[in-house]
Amino acid sequence: DTAYTTLRYRGFARENLHYLSPEPDQDVDGNGLLDDIDGESTLAEAATAFTNTVAGADRLFVYLVDHGGYSSGNGYFRLNPTNTLTAVQLDAWLDALQNTSGTEVVVLLDFCYAGTFLSALKYTGSPTRIVIAACGDNQPSYFVAGGLVSFSGAFFSGLMLGYDVSNCYSMASSAMSGYQTALLDDDHNGDADNADGAIADGYTIGPTYVAAGDAPVIGEACGNQVLTDETSATLWIGGISSVHPIDRAWCLVIPPGHDPDPDNPVTELPTLELAFDAAEGRYAVTHDGFTAAGTYAVAFYVQDAEGNVSLPRQAYVTQIGYDDRVILVAGGDTNGAAWPAIESLARLACSTFRLRLFTPDRMRVLTPSGFLDYDGDGTNDATAAATGDALQSAILGWALTNTTDRLTLYLLGEGADNAFRINDAESVATNQLAAWIQTFQATNPVPVTLVMDFAGAGAFLPALATDAEPAADRIAIASTRAYREALFANDGMVSFTQYLLAGIIAGDTLGDAYTAARRAIRRVSGGVRQRAQLDDNGNGIPGEKNLDGLLAAATWIGSAFVTGADAPLIGSVSPPRVLETPGGAVTLWAAGVTGMNPVSNVWCAVTAPDAAPASELPAITLSWNLSSERYEAVTDCFTEPGCYVLTFYAMDTAGSLSAPVQSEVLLADAFEPDDAAEQASLYDGAAQTHTFHTTNDVDWVRVFLASNFVYEIETDHISERLDTIIVAYRENEDGTLVFLDALSVDEEGDDLGEYTGIDFPDSGWYWFQLSAYPGSTNQIGAYTFSIEMPAAATCSLIVLGVDDVFNCALPSGSYAEVTSFASGVPQKKYFSGSKNISFTGLASGWYRIDVPKPTDHICREDPDTPNQVQNPGNIYYGNPRHVQLSSGWAMAGFEFLSTVSVTSGLVRDAWTGAFIDGAGFAFTATSGSLSGSVVDGHIMLTSYHTDWKSTSAGLLPANVILGACNWNLAVSRTGYTTAAVTGAINGKPAGSMIALGTIYLTPIDTNSNGIQDRWESTYFPGGCDPDADSDGDTLPNAAEYRCGTVPTNSASVMRILDVQRVAGGLSLTWSAAAGRGYQVVSSGTPGGTGSVTTNGPGEAAYGETTKEWIDTDAASHASRFYRIHLAAP
């Protein structure tokens, strides 16, 4: 943008400027229109510009600025993350233009290794070609203080003043001589040597005059100054020419690392008034404030009495004497599994500090062995062995006695019990380190930055809180929370330090580097859930919104500059995607992978859902695909529910590693379906990872909270740009949910999770509805939901024992027993009328929990998988159950059902009295927490239950066990109207034995012919005449239906089978059907009307096919005639 505005000032019309940028939609000149940038900086756009747009031009100025590099000796310029321009291609375009049009060309190249372009841009034609490279062929190009101090900045300052190319080059080359060596070739032979410069001398870009009007002009300014031991410099200007008297002279001091903010006026920069020194004939001021390491840009101005302001004149002040010191400690057991990664990261840290201009005498490096060769020269770069005394000496001796102006302390390695393990036998506790830092700053009140990357580092933050009015600034960064693990996986490449130093190397502020590292380690750490913390307002409380991070955002480690000497860069990777089918093929890719050195390999580390990558993450190697021009791999490894985090890396042939670039693959999480309250997953103390795998996805979670604890409830986003909402409810005794406004939150924006909490809640069930904010940029993604207690050295275990029938406590005498696997010693506590028992002060480890089943209760079973009560690994239903405790808390819920048993019942046909088999029993609860639940089989409330069906004798099955509440009953069978029995079980206490009695089902008879439709369709699919005798056995169809005989078989008929005299009387035997009732009537004459009932009704039991009756009075009659009647049920 500076180049554009300078060239516009130099008289170039907008139509004569062709500006390409990766971000084309910008208003460069501030006129409110997007009319300045002509297109995106792609190879295609560049080709069009050189071959068409500038064709026929008399003169051409080409300016290329961004990252550059070389491969196999060939230089290239990065147009955007995916396109590069080679020196050979640029030369071909320029040759064609100059050979065709005779165009005079000036090329300014400001990117790393720009000098590699000179030889390729040599030209044998006669038109002028001047090539300027900001740095040599083996040098990076620096952009100091946010680009304010750079070759380009100085060159265009000269151009603004009307200098010719030679003077602009000299000014810029001198300004950056401390960083890089510029090159100029104006005889276009491809070399920069003493023969060059004659053509550039007097050659101007744009008009050969300066249209300054009546504005004053600053003739000369003080030279560039380098400060070593002092912080004071004299700034002056002279040789001022002006039509009107000079009214004021001043300068703006632009500190190292200044990043201009368009919302803040430039006048907020330090302004120094210059006084006229008559003896010297110049305006001057002496300023004692150049304390920060790095380069200050000083812009001078004068104003005349008419208000005209001069163009700026610039000078530079570089501070290299500021005493900025760093202490690095790599701690731990050198024989431990993590040590190789820790040692590798220590070398990376040392290299980073050197890159940030810490000299060896201002670095103190401590390792357990006292040896570390970070630069590979075979010599020891460590200062001493890492011990507590050595660290104390480094802080309160070496740093304190050398008038340190700023101190950075970096602790890297192993942690144990919230202490830093400085070697295999010694640890540094929180209070020790805090006391040393407090003493240091009390004696030498200078800023201190602490970075701590080890397990439990977060425990140090409260101890490092400063006093109410601290002596100096203090920034404390912990890579993980108290009692939590810190990862050093994949040889240290998966670690907070790796990610943090990537930002520091790139010149980011400490705040920006921390933010990127915090996001990266959180996403890649899976089930470890490593979460970095920062406190820079001195109160010991990390992560306070709008309070913490402000100081870190304006702080650098070492010198504040940005260098183009970057590691490999990954331009883009495969975007996040939702995988509908587990195990489906997915193409992973990385594009725009470039670097100063050739890229040697590209890979992707995969963090599976809830993985705990203690040492190694699976890595997938990506191979170059020539047709798509990107690195690719196809994999089908995404099979588990949840979120897979993808972390892409690139490495060049020099061993430099890129900053990680992350993406993700989402599948429906393991808790789905959980879109409604009744589908809520149970929270047991372990954080749950959920995904919003569809737009408008909602997740529900339920948890039992005990009253004697403090709970912190939060969501933590794995996916970028996700914005969650927490809505909370409490369950009433009747099962209804009450909205809790105080616990519901929607405060944070994209990327940050939501946080709420409750202290000593009423014991009971709490429900949380989790959703994505509908106005967020991303409603698809992954997050973790956690309910935690404030960190403690020991663990707490909440054992819940509930009778789910009425959501009440277990009966008197119920207890829980917790046994440590390590000690084998049980702890026993009684519920005593409470739903929960708390076991506190437990050490980390595995425990067995037993809650014996109370009398007249059953264990509630897993609704989907059988035999889980017998599975101690089932965290919801196992009894006994095995639970692992780490830091924090866990909940083990044991759910029981108080029961009643239904011991008898009979189902019969209301028209025939037949016993009905296969009738289904469905009980509906009408009281208690089960109200509305329908139970129709054993085991109750499970999907795999065995349906309750009446036996062939019409009897109720033997395993009807129900909750001890009130139930209605529905009995159903095909061909019958369902019988509803209201209050079938009512007011019965646990342990009751209940008899249902006989339940009659009424047959369905849609044609009202007195015959059941099902019986009719069995024998007469086309319908039948109830009065017809279809089989000619003298019994009409309707009678056969009621008698239970077959209407199409004449042998199947109700009749007397045998009559015999027996001792004591006369025996009659007749055919019968189960469940039917029979009467025997007698008369003195055949068909007599005076028949007398002599027997019955008698009922045929299940399995009876004949009935027998003995008439003991038969001998008293000379003759007697008998008839069998079918009795109504």
Cβ–Cβ under 8 Å, residues 571 and 80: yes
Q: Kindly report, residue by residue over 724-774, the tens digit of the pLDDT.
A: 999 999 988 777 899 998 888 877 766 667 888 888 888 888 999 999 988
Q: Which of 517, 488, 719, 493 has its CA nearest to residue 613?
A: 488
Sequence-ordered strand ranges (E) for 159-256: 183-185, 220-221, 225-227, 232-238, 246-254
| Mean per-residue pLDDT, 66-89 | 81
**What does the DSSP assignment read for 868-934?**
-TT-TT-TTT-SSEEEEE-SEEEEEEEEEEEEEEEEEEEEEETTT-PBPPS-EEEEEE-SSTTTT-E
Q: What is the pLDDT of residue 260?
A: 40
Give the angle subtended at the CA of 241 by the CAs of 236 and 246, to the nearest 5°.
Answer: 70
What's the rounded Cα separation, in Å, for the pair 447 and 44?
50
Q: Which of 487, 486, 480, 532 has its CA nearest to residue 510?
A: 532
What's the rounded Cα separation, in Å, for the pair 915 and 1074?
7
Is the model's pLDDT at 565 over the cut of 60?
A: no
Q: What is the pLDDT of residue 793?
A: 59
Q: Which of 210, 216, 239 has its CA nearest to residue 306?
A: 216
Give the angle subtended at the CA of 113 by the CAs of 109 and 114, to the nearest 5°.
Answer: 15
| Cis peptide preceding 673, ω within 30 of 0 | yes
Q: What is the pLDDT of residue 270?
A: 64
| Mean per-residue pLDDT, 218-244 | 86
Q: Kindly report, residue by residue over 467-482, the tens digit of the pLDDT.
A: 666 678 999 999 998 8
Which of the pair, 913 or 711, is modelled with greater confidence? 913
Is the model's pLDDT at 70 over the cut of 90?
A: no
Q: What is the pLDDT of residue 567?
A: 74
Q: What is the pLDDT of residue 43?
A: 92
Q: What is the pLDDT of residue 258?
A: 54
Q: Kindly report, residue by residue over 799-851, the tens digit of the pLDDT.
A: 999 999 998 999 999 999 999 999 999 999 999 999 889 998 898 889 999 99
Sequence-ordered strand ranges (E) for 1020-1089: 1056-1062, 1065-1071, 1077-1083
Cβ–Cβ under 8 Å, residues 778 and 575: no
- 1106-1111: strand order across its sheet: 1056-1062, 1065-1071, 1106-1111
- What CATH topology corresponds to 220-319? Immunoglobulin-like (2.60.40)
Q: Scanning the structure block, which residue is given the tokens 């009409």?
A: 1036
- What CATH topology corresponds to 793-1004? Immunoglobulin-like (2.60.40)
What's the rounded Cα separation, in Å, for the pair 430 and 833?
43
Q: What is the pLDDT of residue 684?
A: 83
Is the model's pLDDT at 947 over the cut of 70?
A: yes
Q: Residue 1030 corresponds to which amino acid?
A: S
Q: Kindly report, residue by residue over 619-654, the tens digit of the pLDDT.
A: 999 999 988 889 999 999 999 999 999 999 999 887
710-717 and 698-705 strand pairing: unpaired
Q: Which of 206-220, 728-742, 912-926, 1088-1102 has the highest mean pLDDT?
A: 912-926
Q: Which of 877, 980, 978, 998 has its CA nearest to residue 926?
A: 980
Which segment of 500-509, 665-674, 977-986, 1069-1078 scores lowest on mean pLDDT? 500-509
Q: What is the pLDDT of residue 307?
A: 66
Q: What is the pLDDT of residue 910?
A: 97
Rounded to 5 degrees, what are φ and ψ at 988? -95, 130
| 403: exposed, middle or buried (Cβ count in 10 Å: 0-12, 13-18, 19+) | exposed
Q: What is the pLDDT of residue 721?
A: 78
Q: What is the pLDDT of residue 563?
A: 45
Q: What is the pLDDT of residue 711?
A: 86
Segments in 356-417 forming alpha helices (H): 388-393
Q: What is the pLDDT of residue 599?
A: 86
What's the rounded Cα separation, in Å, for the pair 310 and 242?
9
Q: Scanning the structure block, which residue is given the tokens 């431990």?
A: 336
Mean pLDDT computed over every residue of the chain:
88
What's the rounded Cα separation, in Å, for the pair 677 and 701?
8
| 440: exposed, middle or buried (Cβ count in 10 Å: 0-12, 13-18, 19+) | buried
| Mean per-residue pLDDT, 535-548 | 88
Q: What is the pLDDT of residue 7?
A: 86
Q: Kindly report, residue by residue over 214-223, the tens digit of the pLDDT.
A: 668 898 999 8
Token pair listed for 387: 């011990």
Q: Kindly report, residue by residue over 162-209, the tens digit of the pLDDT.
A: 789 999 999 888 877 767 899 999 999 999 999 999 999 999 998 665
What's the rounded Cα separation, in Å, for the pair 632 and 629?
9
Buried/exposed 210-229: b ≥16 CB within 10 Å, e otherwise: beeeebbbbeebbebbebee
List beta partners, residue 830: 815
Q: Residue 861 corresponds to which amino acid?
A: E
What's the rounded Cα separation, in Å, for the pair 982 and 1106?
37
Q: Which residues contact 278 (CB under 8 A, 6 or more apart)?
A: none
Cβ–Cβ under 8 Å, residues 309 and 249: no
What's the rounded Cα separation, in Å, for the pair 25 and 38?
9
Is the model's pLDDT at 562 over the cut of 60?
A: no
CATH 2.60.40.10 matches 572-666: yes
What's the rounded Cα separation, in Å, for the pair 91 and 95?
6
Q: What is the pLDDT of residue 569?
A: 84
Cβ–Cβ under 8 Å, residues 1043 and 1073: yes
What's the rounded Cα separation, in Å, for the pair 256 and 261?
15
3-state secondary structure of 442: helix
Token pair listed for 420: 């830093």
Q: Which of 286, 289, 315, 150 has its CA nearest to residue 223?
A: 315
Compute the 3-state secondary structure of the chain and give helix, strand, coil in percent, each to the nearest 5. Answer: 15, 35, 45
Q: Kindly report, residue by residue over 285-321, the tens digit of the pLDDT.
A: 998 767 666 778 888 888 888 766 676 788 888 877 6
The backbone region for 991, taken as left when phi is positive above 0, alpha when psi lies in -120 to 50, beta otherwise, is left
Q: Which of 54, 560, 57 has its CA nearest to residue 259?
A: 560
pTM of the model: 0.61
Q: Which CATH number fits domain 2-185: 3.40.50.1460, 3.40.50.300, 3.10.20.90, 3.20.20.70?
A: 3.40.50.1460
3-state secondary structure of 267: helix
Q: How confident is the model at residue 210 (pLDDT cuts 50, 70, 90)?
A: very low
What's the rounded Cα separation, in Å, for the pair 759 and 772?
26
3-state secondary structure of 340: helix
Kindly tell me the number of DSSP H helices and DSSP E strands found in the chain: 14, 73
> What is the DSSP-derived secondary structure letter of residue 948?
P
What's the rounded Cα separation, in Å, for the pair 634 and 637?
9
Task: Return the CA Rg of the chain.
Answer: 45
Rounded to 5 degrees, what are φ and ψ at 882? -105, 130
Token pair listed for 775: 């106005």
| Cis peptide preceding 1097, ω within 30 of 0 | yes
| Mean per-residue pLDDT, 124-152 | 81
Is the model's pLDDT at 268 over the cut of 60?
A: no
Which segment of 570-574, 684-688, 1019-1023 scores lowest on mean pLDDT? 684-688
Segments in 102-185 forming alpha helices (H): 117-120, 151-160, 165-175
Q: Which CATH class is domain 692-788?
A: mainly beta
Q: What is the pLDDT of residue 685?
A: 82
CATH 2.40.320 matches 330-558: no
Q: How confident is the model at residue 614 (pLDDT cuts 50, 70, 90)?
A: low
Q: How confident is the model at residue 792 (pLDDT cuts 50, 70, 90)?
A: low
Give the angle subtended at the CA of 635 by the CAs of 631 and 637, to the nearest 5°.
Answer: 140
Length of the chain: 1129
Token pair listed for 499: 């990610």
Q: Kindly report, residue by residue over 430-452, the tens digit of the pLDDT.
A: 999 999 999 999 999 989 999 99
Q: Which of 51, 83, 89, 49 has its CA nearest to residue 66?
A: 83
| Mean per-residue pLDDT, 700-708 | 87
**What does the DSSP assignment read for 473-535?**
-EEEEESS-TT----EEGGGTEEHHHHHHHHHHTT--HHHHHHHHHHHHHHHTGGG----EEE
